[in-house]
Structure 1
Amino acid sequence: MATTERDRAADELVARRESLRDAALARLEVTAVAPRSSGDRGTREALSRCRVDLAAHIDALAAALHATGAEQLREYCAFTAVFLEALGVPRRSLGAALDALSESIGEQLDPALSALAQDTLAAGRERLCASPLVTPAALAAIPEAPRAASEAASAAEAIELSAARIAPMSVALSYMRRPEDALAAGAQRGRCLDDARRHLAQLAAAVDQGSPELFSAYAAWAQSLLVQHGLDPAELVGYLDALGDVLALTLPEHLAERPRQCLAAALDRLTAVHAEAPSFVRPEAPLGAVACGYLDALLARDRRRAVRVIREAIDAGMPVKDIYAHVLQPCQYEVGRRWQLRQLSIAGEHYCTAVTQMILSQLYPLVVNTDRAGLRLVATAVDGNLHEIGARFVADFFEMAGWDTFYLGASTPAEHVIEEVVHRKADVLAISAALGDQLASVREVITATRRDDRCRHVVILVGGRPFCVVHDLWRQLGADGSALSAEEAVRTADQILAARSA
């Protein structure tokens, strides 16, 4: 019976939203909490915001009655207070608005329904006395806007300067709009704040490159990752929507438009219905039967069978280069695709990648070409990039082409890359990046290489997911070329070197 009465109370609140809002606003005007006159622009804006806030309070109360009741509204009130305080609205103003709303509910609703609504509202009102309002502490006290942000030369710079304010503010607004997410996050709210900082870093990188599609691709990847951790896919959509509103409030007007365009494109992608991308592993493809057998072994977590599939292919006389190109590489792409579609867990993806890395090590003695080309390659995953297998594929393909290769592994700082390029007398430097926020490190390596007189002759190739998303990104960063596969990287390097010597 109680659930039915809560639903009835919620429905009554929604039905009477406008009259409850106007009655509460009238009370606030009388007590001077809201302006009494609407004769100037500032007063009109304050009145308009007050109306919007009161309508939001009513909707939040109705949603709480439909759901878990008091606990959800307590979270709503807490995060609303945090967000409004960041805008300079004191907590007492929110308390007065809730009190005025409670009195209006008492006048307009049936006594039994009114009591349910008022009891739930009182629990939310009581939460405003808590200290801190929310946890972790980084969400409870949002920093002031840095003065330098208003003087930023670009939107990307403004985001970076204001990130310490924008991140908690956007999380607070997101939780204010979806308090059920705050309840579900529990002690993991600090992780949500860390995610917000990462989202901002990726957004700043996309804005800096003028590439909304770069952030859209990241958002799709991030949503898959969050779902793997058990989160509702709609949570990231709600967060990005809140982030757009926070950017409009915190960034100078002339700098806010481009970031919001990136967010709009990402939201379109996350909410659109997409056809499932085709598999990278197909029986009719070259060595398709071998690739299907290897993939089946990986997905079954059968390392011994996976190794046996590759050994049998080698024993049958299949060239190592073809096994790389038509078995290992497409299977690794397919593992990533299945993870993206949530058909494979993070642990499963890590297992499959580890098996492929082990097999690459076992095949390396067969990779070395006795016919040497007299050319040298340094390959690395840029600082911050822990996904090293792509760069490893590139290094091995160059080795098979007769190059002397020096593979530096994951997350190598720029200064160490330059040292190796000089020490090894490299002809080509291959740089791999996995995410947009690593592009600054890519640019750093490229710039340092160009400035060093000892490296003026070095051909710079870049690759990785950002360069697949934005096809001329390599040119924007100052590289000499890019490639969509390891095999193509060798051809690209040969073409550039041939053109230089012509």
Structure 2
Amino acid sequence: MIAADLYQADENTIERICALRDEAVAHATAASMAAWPELFARLGPRAQALCREDIAFHLDFLQPVLETGDLSSFTAYLGWLAQVLSSRGIPGDSLPRSLEDLEVFFAGQLGSAAAPVIAALAAGRAALAGGLAAPAYDRPCPSPWEEAEAFGDALLDGKGRDASALFNQALDRESSLPAAEVHVIQPALYEVGRRWQENRVSVAQEHLATAMAQTLMARGFGRVEPAPDNGHKALFACPEGNHHSIGLRMVADAFEIAGWSVHYLGANTPVTSLTAQVARFQPDLVGLSASLPYQLRGLRQAVAGLRASLADGCPRLVVGGLVFNQFPLLARSFGADLLGADALSASEAANSLFAR
């Protein structure tokens, strides 16, 4: 038996775990509230909601482990969450305790069938006890241009004119909107995300930075002339549950500038709407994005929905996003292509693929 077999569950067990999701979250939340009553009393009603949300995320990140046997995405998530909780003054033992509470719940509900989920949760606790470093979800990161640091600071300070001047400076120098997006906006927003993780910026600042970056990307697109139509069509969407769409917008820009006819559906696209638009547009390629492991469930449903609905008429499916940059082997479990770690490499790979 290889180590991965310890964590891999059959489809029936995974379905049972998904069906028990709400009960598991309620059980572990109640156990946490009983263990730290003073903390929950001090933080108020919002604390209970946040606890439920975190424990639900445990299960979202756990599902890819049970499907693939690869524990790495789960332990990376735990390292990230441990830093987030610590920076916000939450007791360090609350995280492993919540994993243990889930072990108890599933053992009682599933009996011997719970072995893979118990093994994965126990491995997560062991990794935390050994001292998990917070992962760098922004790796690999495109090399930042000279404007990137000041651009990110301007976004966080809400200085739109300064951010615009820096982005236009990069765009004028290189004459490439996709390159400026990848080497200025992308590193800057990764740094914003890192500061939020460390509790150095607020959610409002993060949202402001993202919104300003999207505005500058739209203005930049108005300044460039796309290549002539190359006869190929692509559709891009973030499946339901994924609200992190700015990276996919960069990919869509790169394809359109390279001569593709592009439909960009944006964030949180329901499966039914996605399949209907694909059937209507009939693209050669559909690109779907996931930023974090818990979004893989929605992506998997989108892929299954497209294949079931379109059968032999299903276009080539491509997946991408931060989670696949960190854990590229996950793409295999979707039966999809992985073209590149950023908008430039994805566009170049697709152009070469369809040119052949």
1:439 to 289, 292, 296: 296
Is 1:249 the counterpart of 2:105? The answer is no
Q: Does residue 1:259 correspond to 2:109, yes or no?
A: no
Q: Work out which of the residue numbers 283, 307, 328 in structure 2 matches 1:426.
A: 283
Aligned residue number for residue 266 of structure 2: 409
- Is 1:165 the counterpart of 2:19? The answer is no
Percent identity of paired positions between Structure 1 and Structure 2: 30
Conserved? CA contact 1:376–1:404, under 8 Å: yes
1:324 and 2:181 correspond = yes
- Alpha-carbon deviation of 1:412? 0.8
Structure 1 residue 310: deviation in Å? Answer: 1.3
Structure 1 residues 436 and 315, CA, compared in 2 at 3 Å: closer, same or farther?
Answer: closer
Shift of 1:200: 2.6
Of 475, 483, 489, 2:346 maps to 489
Which position in structure 2 is the counterpart of 1:27?
Answer: none
The residue identity in structure 2 corresponding to 1:197 is: A
Q: 2:61 aligns with which of 191, 194, 202?
A: 202
Matched residue pairs, number?
345
Distance verdict in 2 for CA 1:454–1:420, change over 3 Å: farther
Correspondence for 2:162: 305
2: CA distance between counterparts of 1:286 and 1:187? 43
Q: Deviations over 1:221-272 (max 9, x none)?
A: 444555676534443233223322333333212x222223332343345451
**Alpha-carbon distance between aligned partners in 1 of 2:74 and 2:134, rounded to the nearest angstrom:** 20
Equivalent residues of 1:181, 1:235 under 8 A apart: no
8 Å CA contact 1:432–1:462 kept in 2: the answer is yes
The answer to whether the 8 A contact 1:367-1:399 is kept is: no
Q: Of 365, 373, 378, which aligns to 2:235? A: 378
- What's the CA shift for 1:425? 2.5
Distance 1:228 1:323 in 2: 33
Amino acid aligned to 1:427: D
CA RMSD of aligned residues (A): 3.1
Does residue 338 of structure 2 align to residue 478 of structure 1?
no
- Distance in 1, matches of 2:138 and 2:311, equals 44
Choose between structure 1 and 2 for higher RCO, CA contacts under 8 A separated by at least 6 residues. Answer: 2
- Structure 1 residue aligned with 2:203: 346
Task: Return 449-458 or 154-163, whichever deviates more.
Answer: 449-458
Tell me the CA shift for residue 392 of structure 1.
Answer: 0.6
Aligned pairs for 1:268-279 within 5 A: 268-271=126-129, 272=131, 274=133
Shifted more, 195-204 versus 321-330: the winner is 195-204
Change (3 A) 1:208 1:419: same
- TM-score normalised by structure 2 residue count: 0.84
The alpha carbon displacement at 1:349 in A equals: 1.6
Aligned to 1:31: none
Contact (CA 8 Å) 2:240, 2:268: kept in 1 or not?
yes
Query: Any residues of structure 2 matched to 1:214-233 within 5 Å, and which?
Result: 214-223=73-82, 226=85, 231-233=90-92
Q: How does 1:132-211 map to 2 (within 5 A)?
A: 154-188=12-46, 190-191=48-49, 192-211=51-70
Conserved 8 A contact 1:288-1:326: yes
Tell me the alpha carbon deviations over residues 341-384 of structure 1, each in whole angstroms, 9 at most, x when there is no partner.
Answer: 33333222212111111111111123441322221110001111
Change (3 A) 1:300 1:266: farther
Report the residue type matching 2:289 in the other structure: S
Give the alignment of 1:270-289 within 5 angstroms.
270-271=128-129, 272=131, 274=133, 288-289=145-146
Per the TM alignment, residue 330 of structure 1 is displaced from its structure 2 partner at its CA by 1.8
Q: Tell me the distance in 2 between the aligned counterparts of 1:278 and 1:427.
A: 30
**Residue pair 1:237, 1:267 contacting (<8 A) in 2 also:** yes
2:318 match: secondary structure: strand
Report Cα offsets for 1:436-465 as digits up to 9, x if no partner.
Answer: 343233223223333445763621111123
Cα distance, 1:432 vs. partner? 0.8
Structure 1 runs not aligned, ≥5 long: 1-151
Letter in 1 for 2:101: A
> Given the superposition, is the C-alpha separation of residues 334 and 265 from structure 1 closer, same or farther in structure 2, using an over 3 Å criterion?
farther
Distance in structure 2 (CA, Å) of the matches to 1:392 and 1:220: 29
Contact kept? 2:156, 2:208, Cα under 8 Å = no
State the partner residue of 1:41.
none
Aligned mates of 2:148, 2:74 — CA distance in 1? 32
Asked if structure 2 preserves the Cα contact closer than 8 Å seen for 1:247 and 1:256, the reply is yes
Residues 143-175 of structure 1 show CA distances to partners (whole Å, capped at 9, x for unaligned) of xxxxxxxxx964322322223332222223334
Change (3 A) 1:317 1:239: closer
